[in-house]
A and B are shown apart, each in its own frame.
Chain A
Amino acid sequence: MAVCIAVIAKENYPLYIRSVPIQNELKFHYTVHTSLDVVEEKISAVGKAMADQRELYLGLLYPTEDYKVYGCVTNSKVKFVIVADSSNTSLRDNEIRSMFRKLHNSFTDVMCNPFYNPGDTIQSKAFDSMVSAMMVQAS
């Protein structure tokens, strides 16, 4: 399960970012922000020719001592970043993928809301509860 989930706009500002332990919030912000470097690198590395059949899932962006940062980018260059605890070794790639899929679906729902203005921070309760379900429950 994730410890931090972020949705980042095409312009690289956070549309949504939530992390579990409040005291580490800042650190997660830094981590997610830095991970954008790798996201950009991966997007450009895939190349223009492959852009069509490109897989949205970018895989492990970069590991740190404590966390693993996974990324996913939509066709409209909205990025999803999931930070998982490194000690949580039971997390498989497939689970991460399915988390991204869920995240993407929920994000699509948010975008479909006619009252949502694309580019605004996400305040949808449905999205929030979906993210909560994917987060490590803070004990």
Chain B
Amino acid sequence: MMEPQEEKPIIYTMENKPIVTCAGDQALFTSLYTPLAQQLPREPMEWKRSYGRAPKMIHLEANFVQFKEELLPKEGNKALLTFPFLHIYWTDCCDTEVYKASVRDNMMRWQGNLRLHGSADWVIVVVETSDAKKKNKTNILPRSSLVDKIRNDFCNKQNDRCVVLSDPLKNSSRSQESWSAFLLKLRTLLLMSFTQNLGRFEEDMRTLREKRNQPGWSFCDYFMVQEELAFVFEMLQQFEDALLQYDELDALFTQYVLNFGAGDGANWLGSFCSPVKSWTGLLLRRPIDMEKRDGIQRGQASLLELRSYLFCRQCTLLIFLQRPWEVTQRALELLHNCVQELCLLEVSMLEGALDCWVFLSCLEVLHRIEGCCDQAQLEANVSHTVGLWAYATDKLKSLGYMCGLVSERGPLSLELNRTVDLLAGLGDEKAETVHSLQSPYKKLKEALSSVEAFERHYLELSHAAVEMYTAIGRMRSARLVGKSLAEFYMRKGDPEQAESFLQNALGSYVSEGWSLPVTHTRKQMAECQKLLGKTENYLQTSALLAGDANLTNEERIHFCQEILTFADQSTDSKAQKVALSMSYFAQLKQLQFRPATATVHSGTALQVELCLRSLMPVAVPLEQLAASVHFNLEQGETNGKTRGPQRRPYPGTVLFPLGNSSAMPPSAAVPSLELEEIQDRSPSDPRTLNSTGMVCKNTHLVMRRRDSSPSPDTPNLVSPVPVVMEDGAKMLMSGDVTLLPGNNSIVFSVPSQELGTYTLRQLCATVGQVQFVLPHISPLVQYEVYSQEPQLTVEPLTDQLLAGLPQRAKVRLQTGHYTVKKGDALQLTNIDSIPILTSSSCPATIFNSTAERVDESVLFIQSSDKVTSISLPPTPPYHTLEFQLEVLCVIPSDPVRPENQRLTNGEIHHRPRSYSHPDNHMTAINQRMSVDCPWSIYSTPISLTFYIPFKAKHSLLSAGNRKYIQVCLQNVSDVNFHLMDQRLTEKHHESSLELQSLNTKAHQLVCSKQSVYCVWDVRWKENMPVCLQCVFSASFSSASEEVSAFKPYHYEFQLERVTTLYSVRAEIMPAAGQQNCHSGSLCGLEMSITRLAEPDDDEEDDGGTEEKGQTETEEVCSTKLMYEVAGSSWVVYGRSSGLVSMPADANANHRVQVELMPLFAGHLPFPDIKVFKYLPPSANSASQPDTDSCVENGMLSLIDRPLDDQGDTASFCSQGSVHSVGSGEQQSRVLPMPRLEPFSPGQVFNHSQGCQVLVLPSTDDCVLEINAT
């Protein structure tokens, strides 16, 4: 009856499968077993879960065992693994008789058994083979009828509990269909059974859990129950669900421990609080640690054992789930948690036992993970394992310290005893690892056995941890492990090894600005360096520590004392002094120049005040404080005139940015951007901007890679900066200074003999054998020594100097490097037009270089004909001497020719040194003086500009034969003047001439921008002189000054051809029969030209012109005149111009009639009548311009024609008619051109100038324009 595969189920392996019992025809089943076992798991089945759990696809397997009554679970048995989930009855009976005879009874018994145990999960399989049918043909019933019978007998309304399997061993399609239907049924039933039985189990389990607050409830019992469920899930390969069960248990337990901690203790927890006797660590090599499980089952497990077992199960499941990294993570949590829980439950444990347990567990987890992953996977997931490595390292270290394995002497007996106790708690090595060379057990045992072995293991672990941390970029963690390695080495008396680790760690803390770790590590570093005898480094570190605010005062004083003690050592003088960076020792806070400009002329005293903040806790006596100065001679500095004291951009105080003390974050490590604006201007035109932008001046600092080793200029750096004091430079020295803690002020006197720029480069404080050097002073500190040539300037006191009046000018003498001695004098070469108004003395003021008034003095001025000598008071160099001089510029009597004067060669006639003021049109005069100065062999030219306040104009007025001269004097300045004594004189004092003033006022006020007119009547007895040379003179004084001397003003002018030669009289007559003129109708103009003076006057007049002379000799005593009529409101009918010949005798009269038409109505002014002198073309003026060129001038060409016709002239003259001229044009071509010459203003007097005539509008056409809007 027993089948070969029927074995006693070993539930502790993962090969467990759900149990299915088989009853009935065993031989039949045996024949079908193989295909059944193969095909059952082939197709997945969807398992629908209760409680809203997600359905799962599941591959079902089963362990088919023969049905026995013992297999059926007894009442209260919670074991699920041995629970038969399905009972199958196999039969191939096809004979009703046989069925009735035996099979049915058998089935009845089977059913009865099942019913007795409350199991409803059964199925009856009827196997139908065609062979069997053939054998027994007689009693054969149709298969269906037998099945119906069975169903009728057993399956009470559960028809699906009976399945037919047809020809299972044949390879036909019918057989396959039958198989798959059967398997489907089997799977369905199995799942149904699972759902039902597990559901019932869970229900029970939950009920049990609900009772957990009742007395007598035991976690261990419950643990076993829920673990059973986990086992089933594991059996069904539902590892996720299995894990869930363990996690629930874990959480439940954790909660109890926490509650215990909160004072809510459960009784059953007592067993876990018992002292721990064994700390064997986790054991992950077995799927189930039965030893521990038994302990739990018996309620005797310790906390560590329970945790170990639980984790072991979780680990196994996680590895099944291919989640090894979760194992490491959970392991670390577990270990931490256990440590906390033991503490919380106050479980007594041997000191160090927990460390052993943690160490062993860490290594065990790592081994387990290594066992299931390949190398590449391990390397890729170092971040998951490194925590365990580090933890193990840490624990081994503390064990080592505890057992005296770290000290140089080796363990003491007390420590040896402790070691023995600890090893005892480990027990014997487990069988699994006995043969493994590297088991955690062996490692720990070995490590604790001797100092050397411990060192080997500890170093191995540490280095592994450092490497792993480094590999995954956790540099800080790596350095922390390194630092604890360094501590280990220091304990072992091996500072060489320690140094580099400390250095790494320190570098990291410094670069990230963690001041407390920096201080701590630096202290260790100091110790290490002291042991190593690295004096310089030790002093450096000591200096840093002495200034470290994180340390207590005592510690700081200790380190400071270390430096001072070293400094005081009287070593031989040959020995090199130790140079340290100043920034550790003191900070340069501020630097101040006196005077603040930091620019002095050579020889002046300049002081620099340093403010040094000492970081030392005690007063430090300095032998010497020196600043090295770089001297740079700048060429061109010496005679630079503009290089005044204003050049310096910053005032005399230079503030130094606070260097990052160790307490400050290294913001200095990230330098701030120094930005500057740039402008690109086009080279041709500097006003055009091509482009503009910002540049960063310190890109080399900003862009520097910062992840590599920290920059060497960080003052807090571990390794000392090689500090070199530059030799050969100029030094500022100050001896015997005591630097008190805090701010100190030290004053240097600065040499300033040589000219140039001085840059403060370095600062060095010497304490015995130690020098503290500040290698670079930044920002740049410079001062300048300069020299200046003496300078003399003269500038007007007011904004403009007026000519003609005494004006004040300020003379400023900047002495520069020259010392004005007593007896030095300025020699001014006098110019006539600008006399210096000398008072014998005038006050002078002396200022020093910062424009403070220093002294006042009196100047003595001596004047001779040619030279004015000003004797100067003694003045020190680089001072300014100021005094005022009164000067007067004589207005030149020959008038500065105004613009409206005549043209010569088309250019405006200019007096060379005068120009017009752009604003007020005052004429300016530049006056140059030369001054001989005592410091130079060359004379200094000085230029002053004066402005003439007046502008004069003259004009000649005529009334018939009488003449008047009018002078207009315009005040163009901004000042008001008094004017008196206006006089007009003739230069030659012709006796026959009398100028009679028509001016009433002798004294007048001329306001600014106003004019004064003066008129004189000219009378003469005999002949009028051809040329009158007149001088207008007046006295003026500024109106603002109360008592002021009147200064003369002269204006010379010349009048020529004054006498009236002709008078012109015109009359307009309306057309015949009309009383008035009408617009639009013709009227007549009659003009009469009368000669008033003898022609010989004329001859003298025009003496220069030969042509005229000739004309007069040829045509006896007649002068040809040309007239022209023009008027804007008149239209001339016929010719508007014509020639008349005037007889030479006086009172000769000529009348001309012209027809006109007025264009408008009203009082119309008479048309202009112009009279010209006509000069006929002369023979000798051969080169006449081409006529064409004259055509442009319409008027001239018009007159041209009649001129040729000599014969016409008479008729011309007699009639005055223009009509007669008209023919003979052709002849005129070759002849030279005649000329017209205007008369001088006084020579022709027009009687009808300004006359008007009334013109009535024409009666008929009256146009009225009306604009309606």
- Which residues of A does B touch, CB under 8 Å? 9, 11-15, 25-26, 29-30, 33-34, 36-38, 40-41, 62-65, 86-87, 89, 119, 121
Contacts and interface: CB of A to CB of B under 8 A. Distances in A.
A30 B476 CA distance: 9
Given A34-B477, A65-B339, A26 B517 contact: yes
B360 to A, nearest CB: 16
B1007 to A, nearest CB: 61
Given A65-B339, A86-B340, A13 B516 contact: no
B665 A119 contact: yes
A24 B197 CA distance: 57
Contacts of A9: 665
B512 A33 contact: yes
Interface string B445-477: 000000000000000000000000100111111
A37 B340 contact: no
Contacts of B339: 65
Contacts of B669: 11
Nearest to B517: A29
Nearest to B254: A89
A25 B383 CA distance: 28
The list of the 3 closest CB pairs from A to B, nearest first, reads: A13-B513, A13-B665, A37-B474
A121 B665 contact: yes
Nearest to B663: A121
B336 A26 contact: no
B336 A41 contact: no
Contacts of B343: 87
A89 B258 contact: yes
Contacts of A121: 664-665
B706 to A, nearest CB: 9
Contact of A13 (B261, B335, B514): B514
A86 B517 contact: no
A11 B665 contact: yes
A103 to B, nearest CB: 19
State the majority secondary structure of interface residues on A.
mixed
Contact of A14 (B258, B477, B665): B665
B516 A29 contact: yes
A109 to B, nearest CB: 21
Interface in B488-509: 509
A38 B474 contact: yes
A14 B514 contact: yes
Contacts of B667: 119
Nearest to A45: B383
B514 A34 contact: no
Nearest to A38: B474
A29 B480 CA distance: 12
A33 B514 contact: yes
Given A63-B332, A63-B336, A87-B344, A33 B665 contact: no
Contact of A87 (B340, B383, B476, B512): B340
B387 interface: yes
B514 A41 contact: no
B666 A89 contact: no
B402 to A, nearest CB: 15
A41 B383 CA distance: 10
B476 A37 contact: yes
B333 interface: yes
Contacts of A36: 476, 512
B499 to A, nearest CB: 20
A89 B336 CA distance: 12
Interface of B: 258, 261, 332-333, 335-336, 339-340, 343-344, 383, 387, 469, 472-477, 480, 509, 512-514, 516-517, 520, 664-667, 669-670
A11 B670 contact: yes
A123 B965 CA distance: 95
B425 to A, nearest CB: 20
A34 B480 contact: yes
21 contacts: A9-B665, A11-B513, A11-B670, A13-B513, A13-B665, A14-B514, A26-B516, A26-B517, A29-B514, A29-B516, A33-B480, A34-B477, A37-B473, A37-B474, A63-B336, A65-B339, A87-B261, A87-B343, A89-B340, A119-B665, A121-B665
B307 to A, nearest CB: 15
Given A34-B476, A41-B472, 14 more contacts: A11-B670, A12-B513, A13-B512, A25-B516, A26-B517, A29-B517, A33-B476, A33-B512, A33-B517, A36-B512, A37-B469, A37-B473, A38-B474, A121-B665
Nearest to A67: B336
Contacts of B513: 11-14
Nearest to B387: A62
A138 B387 CA distance: 30
Contact of A89 (B261, B332, B474, B665): B261
A41 B476 CA distance: 12
Nearest to B518: A29
B665 A37 contact: no
A34 B509 CA distance: 10
A105 B608 CA distance: 49
Contacts of B480: 30, 33-34
A65 B391 CA distance: 9
A41 B666 contact: no
A119 B343 CA distance: 42
A86 B258 CA distance: 12
B1212 to A, nearest CB: 103
Given A13-B665, A38-B474, A64 B512 contact: no
A30 B480 CA distance: 8
B264 to A, nearest CB: 13
A105 to B, nearest CB: 23
The CB with the most chain A CB atoms within 10 A, among B472, B473, B514, is that of B514
A63 B337 CA distance: 10
A36 B344 CA distance: 30
Given A13-B512, A34-B476, A87-B343, A26 B520 contact: yes
A44 to B, nearest CB: 9
Nearest to B514: A33
A38 B386 CA distance: 12
The interface centre, meaning the residue of B480, B517, B665 with most chain A CB atoms within 10 A of its CB, is: B665
B483 to A, nearest CB: 8
A26 B509 CA distance: 13
Contacts of A33: 476, 480, 509, 512, 514, 517
A13 B509 CA distance: 9
A115 B387 CA distance: 43
Nearest to A44: B473
A37 B261 contact: no
A11 to B, nearest CB: 6
Contacts of A13: 512-514, 665-666
B690 to A, nearest CB: 37
A52 to B, nearest CB: 24
A36 B512 CA distance: 11
Contacts of B387: 62
Contacts of B516: 25-26, 29
A49 to B, nearest CB: 21
A65 B339 CA distance: 7
B522 to A, nearest CB: 12
Contacts of A11: 512-513, 665-666, 669-670
A12 B517 contact: no
Most buried by B among A11, A38, A41: A11
Contacts of A119: 665, 667
Contacts of A14: 513-514, 665
A41 B474 contact: yes
Contacts of A29: 514, 516-517
Contacts of B344: 87
A15 B514 CA distance: 10
Given A30-B480, A86-B340, A12 B383 contact: no
Contacts of B476: 33-34, 36-37
A63 B513 CA distance: 24
A15 B512 CA distance: 11
Nearest to B391: A65
A118 B472 CA distance: 32
Nearest to A37: B474
